[in-house]
A and B are shown apart, each in its own frame.
Chain A
Amino acid sequence: MYKTSIAVIGGGPAGLSAAIEAAKAGAQVVLIDENSRPGGQLFKQIHKFFGSKEHKAGVRGIDIGKQLLKEAQELGIEVWLNTEVCGIEQNKLLWAVKNKTESVQLLSERIVLATGAMENSIHFPGWTLPGVMGAGAAQTFINIHRVAPGKKVLMIGSGNVGVIVSYQLLQAGCEVTAIVEASPRLGGYGVHTAKVCRAGVPFYTSHTILRALGENKVEGAVIGRLNDKWEFIPGTEKVFEVDTICIATGLTPLAELAWIAGCKFKYIPELGGFVPLHDENMETTIQGIYVAGDITGIEEASSAMEEGRLAGINAAASLGFYSSKQKEKLCNEVRERLDALRQGPFGKMRRIKKQELITSRREIRCHQQQIV
């Protein structure tokens, strides 16, 4: 059995930031990721990030990933790659499988869950044909493996993932035939939609995919218009000749480990579904287990990094690596940056819903105290 002070599960922007903050405080940290390299989605994000200077605005995701990895390396953080965490016992004992062969146990005083999210799928006749894939998969094709998933792509979903991946598909030399959106309004940031619009990509709002065409692979797609009750209007079918259909219809937090550990959850659709309750320090309903990033509600890498920092600082402080005064100062700086990201029409809803999580957590704590 291995031992450490803090184990961080998930090496994306949230997990890396948590590990870095905890190690900076002086704690011994093990960072675990099931992939063959850390960074999560950052290395696929070749676009410049929004935010301000403090959020690394203007820096491309891939470069932020490189900076975080360098920092983690310099701080001597132990990284376990190709390692899947399968269980958490007694709130601190992790069971993991390394390289799909070796079963290991890790006893950790504190645990940070930063396991991210998974793409949602939608189902339609032909959805299992080769050529139908998540937008994230297409992004991995072009930006990690440098292979085009196809020549002509139909994108389903106009949220930021849909429009950013569409733009990057254009950059990779693919043709994006259309972007289909079931809602009457486009979802993503206007600057992203404007970018693909001036590149000549048409948007179809109030439309959905009806079926994929093709025998052994995607050879086309049929879309149709929806009425104001989101029902298909017969006779409005449109056929596109495409070889790839990308699905960008939202994400769901990957929270299995929080369920296994026994954390309390709340269903908040605006955050992506069931999310573990946490307090303003990112601690769940189980003492010593923290969460950060998309597992706590779908947001962006910029806010995931700030939440990771909060979790890392607090996990280290709870072990005595910071005085409460030091901790508060550091946390307030992070919270200020996090609040800055949760303003405006896009951020406001997330801020309200995240507050709902924290309030529910507080109510449980009061209840627990009454019982004691």
Chain B
Amino acid sequence: MSSTTNCLKTIGSPSLEELKGSPGFPDEHHMKKGPIAIIECIEAIPCNPCETACPKGAIVVGHPITNLPTLDVEKCIGCGLCIAACPGLAIYVKDYTYSDTEALIVFPYEYYPLPSIGDKVTMVNRRGAEVCEGKVLKINLSEKNNKTPVISVSFPKKHFEEIVSMKRI
């Protein structure tokens, strides 16, 4: 058992190696091309709201619904409608091209208190370790999200791959 191929079932979060082998995780080229959905769903569970939520038909689960979601990197425009639709909170949108020095992440965040726009927050990786500082740009509380706030934060580009969320306040 290599140390990075079985992280999900031993540490609790997937390794980059596990993610890169899954059909919902964009390749490096498309990942950095502009806003795109990143689906960290690598276990065949019966679930398909991401497919239903996507207005572009970019996410396909098909039948049976235990298929892993497949992301069509050409069709995805990074609109983010799948983020709050995912019951597993396993989807976020990242934009590598946000600025020369900063990237953007749009992620689900179901904790109180919510940050405010403009706040400096601590960004974390998949294991919850503090990595860098980020700046809150938007808090989407749309009714469509069914009580899952979706937060946009900018952060230094060099941490693009590892950032997945922010530390609870």
Contact = CB atoms under 8 A, between A and B. Distances in A.
Given A190-B9, A194-B14, A48 B87 contact: yes
Contact of B45 (A60, A179, A346): A346
B47 A195 contact: no
Contact of B12 (A49, A203, A340): A203
B49 interface: yes
Instruction: Tell me whether chain B's interface is mostly helix, strand or loop, or mixed.
Output: loop
Interface in B52-89: 52, 63-66, 85-89
Nearest to A179: B12
Contacts of B86: 191
Contacts of A199: 128, 165, 168
Contacts of A52: 46-49, 52, 65
Contacts of A57: 47-49, 52, 87
B49 A344 contact: no
A92 to B, nearest CB: 36
B168 A191 contact: no
A154 to B, nearest CB: 16
Interface of B: 8-14, 40-49, 52, 63-66, 85-90, 110-112, 124-129, 146-148, 164-165, 167-168
Nearest to B108: A195
28 contacts: A48-B87, A48-B148, A50-B45, A50-B88, A51-B47, A51-B48, A51-B65, A53-B52, A55-B46, A57-B52, A57-B87, A58-B85, A184-B10, A186-B12, A190-B9, A191-B45, A191-B86, A194-B12, A194-B14, A194-B40, A198-B124, A199-B165, A200-B124, A200-B127, A201-B12, A205-B10, A343-B66, A344-B46
Contact of A50 (B10, B87, B112, B165): B87
A49 B64 contact: no
Contact of A58 (B14, B49, B164, B165): B49
B142 to A, nearest CB: 14
A186 B9 contact: yes
A198 B8 CA distance: 12
B25 to A, nearest CB: 13
Interface of A: 47-53, 55, 57-60, 170-171, 173, 179, 184-186, 189-201, 203, 205, 340-347
A171 B165 CA distance: 15
Contacts of A179: 12
B9 A343 contact: no
A344 B45 contact: yes
A193 B87 contact: no
Contacts of B88: 50, 189, 191-192, 195
A49 B124 CA distance: 26
A347 to B, nearest CB: 6
Contacts of B45: 50, 189, 191, 344, 346
